[in-house]
Structure 1
Amino acid sequence: MAEKLNPQVSQNSKEEKKEDYALEKVPKHYRMGWWSVTNVALGVATAMVFMQMGSLMAVSYGAMNALIAEIYATVIAGVLGIGIAYLAAKHGMNVNLLARGGGFGYIGASITSFIYAINFIMYCAIEGSIMAFAVYEYVQVIPIWILMVFFGLAVIPFNWFGMKQLDKLQKWSLPIFIILLGAGMIVAANMAPTYAGDVWSYLPEGAQVGGTALLTCIGIINGLVGIMALLISDYARFVKPEQFKLGVFAVGFIPQLVCFFIMGLIGIWFGVRFMEDNPGVYFVHIIGIFGALFTILTQIRINITNLYSGSLSLSNFFENVFKFTPGRTFWVVFTAVAAVIAMLAGALDYLGPMLTFQGVFLFAWAATIIADAFVVKRALRIGPMYFEYEQEKLYKWNPVGVVSLIVASTIGTMAAFGIMGTFLQNTAAFFAAILSFVLTIVLAVASKGKYYVKTDIDNVPKDEDIA
């Protein structure tokens, strides 16, 4: 107890592991300033995958369709992100812990933790591959598999001590990122482009603005919208209570603005100008070795956050199901090794179907948590008015969240693979979110909230947990 009242992370290894608060809420004395928390979250937003998504959509479906999709993503991810950030900062928990008392039960929440962890393993593999191919583009004497192993494992040390280490790394690397990005844009603007026409009027042959092309772009980007909205909780839970309003807005919205609107637009510009959808390739061609360094820097910034969120999810899953708690740093290594195996096994060849399902699942999960928090708990006052996370006070399963998520994800996935027509195929994630939102409310009313906690000790809002 004394350690929790006076945390000094550097004093001993036990407290260094405690720093992460992977399995419990973050106490108020350990909260951080809003800019430090936002700074860590921005490490995600500067990932090349967001530039690549803009380039890919623009080259394949037209610049204007890509732009509209990026605006859509900014708005939807911003709204969801602010809602999730509000809950995380208010209760000091990420979505893994919120799910326990938010309609899933502690075993039911393990479903979300496991699939969430797989998501981060796949993203680690994506970012590691981008690094590997960027360096290979410049130095082809080194086999690509060696580069994959190296870059997959090299980020482990950067993630050893949790949020405070992440904050320092992101602060030190941000100025370098901005300088190299600016240099790339200046050099590119003075190079002869592959496509000499107006970037924003570019359309592939046979495409048009709107219609199926735009819906396809929205379908492509939904997976990233879902993950960005949810992972914000891993960082927003550290916001200081006295900075609650500013922190919730900053952490919930600014990363979404940067990753979808700013980085997305930059990706569109580069992609159309050079008719290339891989930023790791065109940055190397533009500024040579500095392009490779830029790629490595951006991917390290994102992969340390991928490892962090992945390790939290795996910690929750194995603690919930198997009572196996070796510490978050163990799961950092596990996540990195799993990502390397995924790269080497060619799992990225099946990335499209995986991201399609992830978009549906993550939208449905976010909708369930928001419906439970703002409608079931607050408006209808069903069940406890707070998010319980301690296993001994929870049922293993709560049908409210579990059934809502499974039904919405199943139907949404069917829609995403074209079974229900073109429109729902490309709006499947949004469709799954609406379905999950409604089902959560209906099932909570039908069950009268009796599966939330075993013993409702104080059936009132825990105002001491509210910033």
Structure 2
Amino acid sequence: MAWYAFASAMFWLIVGATVALAVGTRDTLIGLALSVVAYSVFGRLLSRHAARTGISSALFSRALFGYLGAAVAPLIVGATALYYAVFEGSVVAEVFHQYTGWGNIQIWYLIVAAYSIPIVIGGVRTWLDKLNGFLLPFYYVGLIVAVVWAIAVNGYSNDWLTAGPVDPQVNLHAPGWVFAFSVYMGVWIMQPFTWDYARLAKTADATFHKWLTFGPLFYTLTLAVNAIVGIFLAHSLTAGTTLTELSAVQAIVGLTGIFGVALVWVSQTRINTANYYLASINAESFFARVFRIRLPRRIWVVLVGIAVFALMLTNAISYLLKALQWQGVVVVAWVAIALVYLAFARRDRRRSEDFEFRPGRVPAFNMVGLGAWLTASVIGIVMVEFGGAFGATWAPPAAFLVAGALYTAGRFATGERYVLLSRPNDPRMEVDDPWEARVECATCERSYIAQEMDRNPATPDHAPICGECGSNDNAYLAAAYEEARTSAAAGPAVASRRTPEAKA
């Protein structure tokens, strides 16, 4: 239910309606159907591996880009979630300001940001799950009532089903359904979002999750149902006006009054629980890795709320939209590389549980992954900035194909040279079950499962060290890289005798 918060964003209604105005209803529905399939397939793949590893998308990115190279991934994911929080929070503030006529908009910005913070401080499996589960029916009941209300007031016509583009003369440099599919590719940020939620799932529930939580049911409701309602309401409520997220929402509120206000509050509050959560966990990861600033997630939630309020005050919709376009192609390239990595892991029969993320077991920079990501992202951004209508349509597909092709070629050429550091003395190999056995870190004197532990070659006895302490220990990192260069061990891990430090 915490994940299903994404299903109730007004954003999805407006995306569907906007695409339909550009290419017509028929092509929009074709592009939607293809998008539901693509999102569902990728969601099933990523959620399965995320649940098996239990690691975040930021840690998974270490396997793609290296220990330091992966620092960009949480920045992109967190910034995108932050920007969406600004959008959705602004909508709530504008609606309350319009409906009540009280105060100025800055006060409502502050109220919305302030009430969002305590909602998100609780855990995903408890508070957010229960809150979103409680609010979900209200959202869909609200959509049904809004549609029925619109029909009662304006009557019903099938014209919206056969409507063509508003301006048929605009050259999109592709069939309409390709343009529609490309627009939804720009929101593939849902894939790393999927990873960050699915890592909390139980592996025993994999079948349920791949069909209902992160698969076809979720994306049918999120993409298709919302888009269809958005297309209908756009033709019924906003005829003759420029369609924006705010204009459509204002039309709903103008039609249904306090009921519309309640619908907007439910939808935007639900989606912002997800936005604040993802922004906070990725900010925590980014600042810990890059600046070594370590704060509890609750503090990061507060800081995210402050950042959301500050961005609302700048009225930054125009440049945020441009930033989201740039991030769209960057994320599409990330998805392509992640899928190719998983394909190679399947070819090599590498279990998801064995994915490597420990700082001393992955290179600082994975030049194959980083090169593919950077090249594809630059090409996509250049197409967005200078390619006009052609670039807007083809930038996401181009970034996806370039990233996938370059990473595939690089992996065939280099094998796992830039994926894993081949070092001996691996605690995972010293215990019967690395997911159950506990090993005490010699630095912080806390015990963690062997799956997270390494041995520190900078110490005479190769003392055990946890991932957190290893991230802060430059001597350990330098010694690990040197050991990898000089070690004659074959493979990423070398089995050794169990030692007394491994405590079941």
Q: TM tier, shorter chain? A: 0.7 to 0.9
Name which of 313, 316, 324 aligns with 1:347: 316
Opposite residue 283 of structure 1, the aligned amino acid is I
Q: In the alignment, which of 414, 421, 436 is matched to residue 382 of structure 2?
A: 414
Inter-partner Cα distance in structure 2 for 1:231 and 1:127: 17
CA–CA distance in 1 between the matches of 2:255 and 2:352? 57
Aligned with residue 228 of structure 2, among 256, 265, 269: 265
Shift of 1:323: 2.3
RMSD of the alignment, in Å? 2.8
**What letter corresponds to residue 150 of structure 1 in structure 2?**
I
Equivalent of 1:397 in 358, 365, 378: 365
SS of 1:452's equivalent in the other structure is coil
2-structure distance, mates of 1:64, 1:317: 42
Structure 1 length normalisation: TM-score? 0.83
Helix, strand or coil: the match of 2:98? helix
SS in 2 for 1:427: helix
Is the 2:185–2:396 contact (alpha carbons within 8 Å) kept by the matching residues of 1? yes
Question: 1:394: Cα distance to partner?
Answer: 2.9
Match of 2:407, as an amino acid? T
Of residues 431, 436, 459, the one that matches 2:403 is: 436
The amino acid that maps onto 1:112 is A
| 2:387 is equivalent to residue 387 of structure 1 | no
* Residue 176 (structure 1) aligned with residue 103 (structure 2): no
CA offset digits 1:257-308 (Å, max 9, x no partner): 2111111111111111112543421220121011011101100100011111
1:335 & 1:389 partners in 2: Cα distance?
26
CA drift of 1:314 comes to: 1.0
Question: How far apart, in 2, do the equivalents of 1:73 and 1:397 lie?
Answer: 33
Secondary structure of 2:189 counterpart? helix
Deviations 1:296-328 (A, max 9, x none): 110010001111111111111112222222111
Question: How far did 1:70 drift?
Answer: 2.2
Per-residue Cα deviation, 1:39-62 (whole angstroms, up to 9, x for no partner):
221111111110111222233443
SS in structure 2 of the partner of residue 156 of structure 1 = helix
CA 1:326–1:269 in 2, change beyond 3 Å: closer, same or farther? same
**Which residue in 2 is equivalent to 1:91?**
53
**What is the letter of the counterpart of residue 245 of structure 1?**
T
SS in 1 for 2:153: coil
Kindly indicate whether structure 1 or structure 2 has the higher relative contact order, using CA contacts under 8 Å at least 6 residues apart.
1
* Partner Cα separation in structure 1 for residue 390 and residue 165 of structure 2: 21
> Hey, which bits of structure 1, 4+ residues long, moved more than 6 A?
381-385, 462-465
Q: 2:416 aligns with which of 424, 427, 449?
A: 449
Q: Tell whether the 8 Å contact from 1:66 to 1:268 is kept in structure 2 after alignment.
A: no
Which whole-Å CA distance do the structure 1 matches of 2:384 and 2:337 have between them? 19
Corresponding position of 1:198: 159
Following superposition, the deviation at residue 170 of structure 1 comes to: 0.8
Which amino acid in structure 1 is aligned with residue 38 of structure 2? I
CA distance in 2, matches of 1:137, 1:89: 43
CA contact (8 A) 2:143 2:229 kept: no
Q: What code does the residue aligned with 2:25 have?
A: A
Between the aligned partners of 1:387 and 1:242, the Cα distance in structure 2 is: 19
1:361 to 325, 330, 340: 330
How many residues matched? 422
Q: Secondary structure at the match of 2:317?
A: helix
Match of 2:265 in 1: 296
User: 1:30: which partner in 2?
Assistant: none
Alignment correspondent of 2:121:
160
Structure 1 residues 453 and 385, CA gap change in structure 2 (3 angstroms): farther
Question: CA 1:180–1:138 in structure 2 vs 1: closer, same or farther (change >3 Å)?
Answer: same
Alpha-carbon deviation of 1:250? Answer: 2.4
1:23 aligned partner? none
- 1:227 and 2:195 matched: no
Corresponding letter in the other structure for 1:444: R
Q: Deviations for 1:405-437, whole angstroms, at most 9, x for unmatched residues?
A: 111111122223343x75554132122112111
Is the alpha carbon distance of 1:271 and 1:44 closer, same or farther for their aligned partners in structure 2, counting shifts above 3 Å?
Answer: same
Q: Could you tell me how far 1:246 is from its partner in structure 2? A: 2.4
Quick one: which amino acid aligns to residue 405 of structure 1? W
- Structure number with larger C-alpha Rg: 2
Structure 1 residues without counterparts, runs of 5 or longer = 1-38
Counterpart check, 1:41 vs 2:3: yes
| Distance in 2, Cα, partners of 1:404 & 1:384 | 23
Structure 2: distance between partners of 1:321 and 1:88: 23
Q: Spell out, residue by residue over 1:72-116, the C-alpha distance to the aligned partner (whole angstroms, 9 max, x if none).
A: 32122222211211211121123212111x221221111111121
Q: Report if the CA contact (8 A) 2:68-2:365 is conserved.
A: yes
Q: C-alpha displacement at 1:168, in angstroms?
A: 0.8
Distance 1:264 1:450, change over 3 A: same
| 2:70 maps to amino acid | A
Separation of aligned partners in 1, 2:297 and 2:360 = 22
In the TM superposition, what is the alpha-carbon distance from 1:378 to its structure 2 partner?
Answer: 2.4
Report deviation, 1:216: 4.2
- Structure-2 change in CA distance of 1:89 and 1:382 (3 Å): closer
The structural deviation recorded for 1:237 is: 1.3
Aligned partners of 2:142 and 2:263 also within 8 Å: yes
Measure, in 2, the Cα distance between the counterparts of 1:265 and 1:387. 40
Matching residue's letter, 2:367: P
1:191 match: secondary structure? helix
Distance 1:215 1:448, change over 3 A: closer
Which whole-Å CA distance do the structure 2 matches of 1:255 and 1:450 have between them? 38
Contact 2:50 2:56 in 1 (8 A): yes
* Residue in 1 that maps onto 2:12: 50
Mapped to 2, the partners of 1:412 and 1:243 lie a distance apart of 37
Deviates more, 1:242-251 or 1:204-213: 204-213
The DSSP-based 3-state class of the residue aligned with 1:396 is coil
> Where does residue 36 of structure 1 map in the other structure?
none
- Return the alpha-carbon distance in structure 2 between the equivalents of residues 415 and 301 of structure 1: 34
Alignment-mate amino acid for residue 319 of structure 2: Y
Distance 1:82 1:400 in 2: 26
Alpha-carbon shift at residue 139 of structure 1 (Å): 2.0
CA separation of 1:286/1:464 partners in 2, compared to 1, >3 Å: closer, same or farther?
farther
Contact 2:22-2:167 within 8 A present in 1 as well: no
Structure 2 residue identity aligned to 1:237 = R
- Structure 2 residue identity aligned to 1:128: G
Whether contact under 8 Å (2:52, 2:353) holds in the other structure is no
Mark the CA change 1:155 to 1:270 in structure 2 (over 3 Å): closer, same or farther: same
Deviation digits for residues 183-231 of structure 1 (CA, Å, limit 9, x no counterpart): 22221121126x966111223454289946544444433222x112221
2: CA distance between counterparts of 1:132 and 1:60? 28
